Amino acid sequence: MAGSHVLHALQETRQYKVVCIDNFHNSDPRVFSRLEALARSALPADASETDKESTVIDAYRCDLTKPGDVRAVFEKYGKGGIWGVIHIAVRSLARRRRRKKSAKATGAKQAYKAVGESTEIPLTYYLNNVTATIYLLQIMSEFDCTRVVYSSSATVYGTPPVVPIPETTRLKADSPYGQSKIMSESVIQDLTQGVQLF
């Protein structure tokens, strides 16, 4: 659900060509045609070809735990062709359009997100949420894509002392799912402080 709202918000700007990677574990591919129709209906009568192109979503059935498949999507847009990634607990990619030179932005949605289930199959959650994030970040680096928005989860705070939860609240996840999100956040934080600029 959150992923489709992000895709729609990207379409509304008319600055992005949305490219979506999704394994459809928690989503329905029919949402893309609905989003495209919604975006087309919002275009002005004198919409440019570029504006019309921004309504189309390039969707790929792909699993972030399979780096070869993810790399193949990035290869379609070339080195430097993916402008940025939005990595959500579901999976999607977007390309940023510029007036003279087309650059792509990527949002990737695709993590397992059931807290209770994560206690039953924790290794699956760590593989999908942490390893897949690392694979995605490595591929982004290979293709000179250094912008990432990571959608974490309130579960990283465990039982919070106050609601709404300020982001300054200590991290203390109560589940493998929450721990996997903290671990992914830590990897991204390390990249922002290292040689690679994310």
What DSSP designation does 112 have? -
Per the CB < 8 A criterion, the answer to whether 137 and 198 are in contact is yes
Largest Cα–Cα distance of the chain, in whole Å?
54
* β-strands 107-109, 16-22 pairing: parallel
Per the document, the length of the chain is: 198
Task: For residues 66 and 34, give the distance between their C-alpha atoms in angstroms, rounded to a whole number.
Answer: 28
Active site residue 77: no
Distance, CA of 53 to CA of 32 (rounded, Å): 14
**In which residue are the tokens 């990283």 written?**
156
DSSP 157: G
How many alpha carbons fall within 13 Å on the CB side of residue 185? 17
Residue of 125, 126, 150, 177 with catalytic role: 177
| Catalytic residue positions, numbered | 177
